[in-house]
Structure 1
Amino acid sequence: MALGQKAGLRLVRAERGQVEWQMASLDELLPEDHRARQVWQYVEGLELSRLYDAIQSHTGRAGRPAIDPAVLMTLWLYATLEDVGSARQVARLCERDVSYRWILGRVRVSHKTLSDFRVEAGGVLDELLSRSVAALASAGVVDLQCVAVDGMRLRASAGTNSFRRKKRLDQLHDLASEKVAKLRGELDRDPGASDRRRQARRQWAAEDRQRRIEQAKQALAEIEAQRAAEAKEQRRKQPANKREPRASTSDAQARIMKMADGGYRPGFNAQFKTTPPIGLIIGVSVDNNGSDRGRLRGTVAEIEQRYGQRPQQVLADSGYDSKTDIAALHEHEKGTVAVFCPLPRNQDGQVRPPRVNDGPGVLAWHQRMNSDDGKALYRQRFATERPHADMRNRGLTGVLVRGIEKVKAVVLWHVHAYNFLIISRLPRTA
């Protein structure tokens, strides 16, 4: 009883110990206009043949039936919209939340199944992105002639202290190899069953450690090769970054890069291509290069590869102002692609005039950005910041998975969740 109650009051009190029967189905418990129903209807319209073809459970064969991929697809898409990014948290919600229980429809699912499906569906999600945007483009809803590109840094699942130099990696590799050999010898002596299982777990952990160190050593070689290639392209005798490279033993594909808050932490660079002014995401890529410079040609190539047509205009921020890219897109054999990005400025904030040796592509870029029409068109680039804000509000500031492919899969879930919201508004705004 709460404090402060006066004697003689007549109250309706909560009764939680009464046993009762509730005659209702899951479908009756969920409102007709609930978002879970909208997501399920959206997923039912997707082409999921690639997921169904991978199922090996068939009628007349032994084995447990597979969970319908449409159920798992709906579950993760709805969870992403509800700001839930943990497989364990989704599994807990499937036990007690009506909307998740409705999606499952009495299907039992573990957090391991959820986690595996989230990262293994990356290729299907990438294909579905191209299919959905192509359908909208053929219907005249989306215009692919103008594309805006912007990047977002994601915190990797690796600590700064996990980065090691070559000398230390060699030492760790030798220690790991010795431990693996020792554990294999102990396992071969055929101890008792319980000891054998314990030794097998220890051996697996040691082999995993050895594998991650080998991946880190391979990453070091890739970093050194990349620096040498950049120095050759810039006609330098030595790489600009003279620091000894380091690689992570937790996630060998993560790199130290500058984040949005100005700090330097392990992360990945996710690049989003959108169609202004509606802001629909039409392309996405993930890598470990912390710089945006030199990505304009790759942006055009991705759109052409996905949809079979080249954009005529590309909008980008000042981080993409590579004169090499601007000149190459201006003089491309398949047609000119006009780049719209801010002109470089000096320390006083004044726009730098073109240099004497600048080509026609750079000169045309200056003319576009100094014209009123160019400035008006460039204002549409700010529509690309809406997807970033939406994804960050839904928890996409870092990732719990490791490796570029798995990180891209997580990013694609957020891309489809955002596009779902945009597409659901299109009929009302058309």
Structure 2
Amino acid sequence: MSTTPPPKKPDVRVNSPERRQLEWRDFSLDGYVRQDDKVRIIWRYVESLDLTILYDKIQAVEFQPGRNAVDPKILVALWLMATVESISSARALERLSQRDLAYMWICGGVSVNYHLLSDFRSQHRDFLKQVLTTTVASLLHAEVITLDTVAQDGVRVRASAGSSSFHRKPTIEKRIAEAKAHLAALEENEDSDDTSRGSSSAKERAVRDKLARAEEALKQVAELQKEQDQRRRGKDETPKEARCSTTDPDARKMKMGDGGFRPAYNVQVATDGASRIIVGVDVTKKGNDGQEMFPMQSQIIANYGKAPQNYLVDNGFATNDQITKTENAGSQVHAPVHGEKAMKKRGNDPFARKKCDTDECFAFRQRKATEAAQQRYKQRPSIAEYVNAEFRNRGLTQFRVRGLEKVQTVVEWYAITFNLLRLINLGLVT
């Protein structure tokens, strides 16, 4: 018995890639980027900045040997664009500059590598401070910023160090001795062969860097021990040995938002209430905000010659000493009164003068009792917490750099980027 075979299915038709065909194409990077793309706004903003500080540091000059330097405009624009898009990795930015149209458009055929990008991001704090200060000063002159109300808040950001890198003084001294012995062995056994010279030099640099960080940790652990002894003075407590990180000696273990303790830095931000523009930033190694209000106010006065009229902070900032100094410098402090709810439950008046109060602290208490002051303080979350949320959304959850100076530089990048986005939203940069 014969059966009829099923009909053969026709071959499918698809468009397959052909990569070896020679073609002539009219191609321009500028033609592939829309006129209203944000990358063009960023580039125009960079062109409006005074980059003299950056150009003065370039050693490549005409009629002298050496390669051309990468234009600082490119590097500034790349990192502004990267920060807007929550990119903090120099390696990731290098890849994007080779395959993403927006970043390729910024480069315009100029190649950049991650070493250059990484070094540029963590250096030039003087330039970044100048950009932040001059921008705010010009907006102050144009009355976009009034400094009528300024809110300050602190946010703890994870450091580039592990909890296990914190050691006591004896362990740090042991690490220093080991690093010195390792370095001596490398120098003694250094091979003169050209093929291994580069590897040997890299190993030496790594050991020297490790030794430098351990020696800095030894200095700082002595300072931390003195601070701990002063805080314990007069208290019946068992002495504890201070610990310091050999990975990042400037990092400190701080209580984070989830209640846990991890190595971190305390990022301080002051924001204008009317425009939501950042007017001051700083980074400290202290785990609490109890001594941070007056230094930030002093920074604002030094930069702009004017003290904020109303200064909004949360409960952690409002110590007697800081309130007194800030009020004497020309600002009215608005913050919760310590123990206000507990005193009201006991039937005590939280706004009455206390024994430890200075005249400025008493004035602060009396002002807090008014309805106008309470309504003004309600503005604080929408001013200060808004900036913190934006920083987190832009990727500021953990630093990739080590050391207070480099950390402060990275925070300046976030502040400048935040202000640029605010200026775009306000229609002041197009």
Q: TM-score, structure 1 length as denominator?
A: 0.90
Give the 3-state SS of the residue equivalent to 2:189 in structure 1.
helix
CA distance in 2, matches of 1:131, 1:239: 52
Instruction: Render the CA deviation track for 1:241-260: whole Å, top value 9, x for unaligned.
Output: 94321011111111100111
CA distance in 2, matches of 1:313, 1:106: 50
What amino acid sits opposite 1:88 in the alignment? R
Equivalent position of 2:163 in the other structure: 160
Name the % identity.
35
Provide closer, same or farther for how the CA distance between residues 241 and 321 of structure 1 changes in structure 2, counting only shifts above 3 A: farther
Match among 305, 325, 330 for residue 328 of structure 1: 325
Provide closer, same or farther for how the CA distance between residues 322 and 417 of structure 1 changes in structure 2, counting only shifts above 3 A: same
How far 1:389 moved relative to its partner? 0.7
2:116 maps to 1:113: yes
Provide closer, same or farther for how the CA distance between residues 368 and 242 of structure 1 changes in structure 2, counting only shifts above 3 A: farther
Q: Is the 8 Å Cα contact of residues 225 and 241 (structure 2) preserved in structure 1?
A: no
Provide closer, same or farther for how the CA distance between residues 108 and 200 of structure 1 changes in structure 2, counting only shifts above 3 A: closer
2:346 maps to 1:345: no
Equivalent position of 1:373 in the other structure: 372
CA distance in 2, matches of 1:107, 1:239: 65
Equivalent position of 1:132 in the other structure: 135
Equivalent position of 1:283 in the other structure: 280
Gaps of 5+ in 1: 1-5
Instruction: Render the CA deviation track for 1:11-56: whole Å, top value 9, x for unaligned.
Output: 7x44422544431211001111111001001111111111111111
Equivalent position of 2:206 in the other structure: 205
Match among 72, 94, 111 for residue 91 of structure 1: 94
Aligned residues: 414
How far 1:209 moved relative to its partner? 2.1
Provide closer, same or farther for how the CA distance between residues 386 and 241 of structure 1 changes in structure 2, counting only shifts above 3 A: farther
Provide closer, same or farther for how the CA distance between residues 237 and 93 of structure 1 changes in structure 2, counting only shifts above 3 A: same
CA distance in 2, matches of 1:406, 1:284: 14
Provide closer, same or farther for how the CA distance between residues 175 and 24 of structure 1 changes in structure 2, counting only shifts above 3 A: closer
Equivalent position of 1:41 in the other structure: 44
CA distance in 1, matches of 2:384, 2:49: 25
CA distance in 2, matches of 1:34, 1:240: 62
Instruction: Render the CA deviation track for 1:246-287: whole Å, top value 9, x for unaligned.
Output: 011111111100111111100101100100133110100012
Instruction: Render the CA deviation track for 1:172-227: whole Å, top value 9, x for unaligned.
Output: 2222222222332333xx65444555444433333222222111101102212334
Q: Is the 8 Å Cα contact of residues 307 and 330 (structure 2) preserved in structure 1?
A: no
What amino acid sits opposite 1:316 in the alignment? V
CA distance in 1, matches of 2:11, 2:335: 71
Which stretch of the first structure deviates more once superposed, 403-412 or 335-344?
335-344
Q: TM-score, structure 2 length as denominator?
A: 0.90
Q: Is the 8 Å Cα contact of residues 228 and 239 (structure 1) preserved in structure 2?
A: no
Give the 3-state SS of the residue equivalent to 2:147 in structure 1.
coil
Which stretch of the first structure deviates more once superposed, 221-230 or 86-95?
221-230
Instruction: Render the CA deviation track for 1:311-330: whole Å, top value 9, x for unaligned.
Output: 22211011111011112333
How far 1:369 moved relative to its partner? 1.4
Q: Is the 8 Å Cα contact of residues 277 and 380 (structure 1) preserved in structure 2?
A: no
2:374 maps to 1:397: no
How far 1:394 moved relative to its partner? 1.3
Give the 3-state SS of the residue equivalent to 2:279 in structure 1.
strand
Provide closer, same or farther for how the CA distance between residues 56 and 229 of structure 1 changes in structure 2, counting only shifts above 3 A: farther
What amino acid sits opposite 1:318 in the alignment? N
2:145 maps to 1:151: no
Equivalent position of 1:3 in the other structure: none
Q: Is the 8 Å Cα contact of residues 228 and 242 (structure 2) preserved in structure 1?
A: no
CA distance in 2, matches of 1:146, 1:347: 26
Q: Is the 8 Å Cα contact of residues 274 and 282 (structure 1) preserved in structure 2?
A: yes
Which stretch of the first structure deviates more once superposed, 138-147 or 67-76?
138-147
Which stretch of the first structure deviates more once superposed, 170-179 or 291-300?
170-179
CA distance in 2, matches of 1:96, 1:264: 40
CA distance in 1, matches of 2:229, 2:12: 83
CA distance in 1, matches of 2:137, 2:182: 53
Larger CA Rg, structure 1 vs 2: 2
How far 1:294 moved relative to its partner? 1.7
Give the 3-state SS of the residue equivalent to 1:101 in structure 2.
helix
Gaps of 5+ in 2: 1-7
Equivalent position of 1:315 in the other structure: 312
CA distance in 2, matches of 1:10, 1:370: 80
Which stretch of the first structure deviates more once superposed, 220-229 or 103-112?
220-229
Give the 3-state SS of the residue equivalent to 1:427 in structure 2.
coil
How far 1:113 moved relative to its partner? 0.7
CA distance in 1, matches of 2:97, 2:225: 47
Match among 59, 67, 71 for residue 70 of structure 2: 67
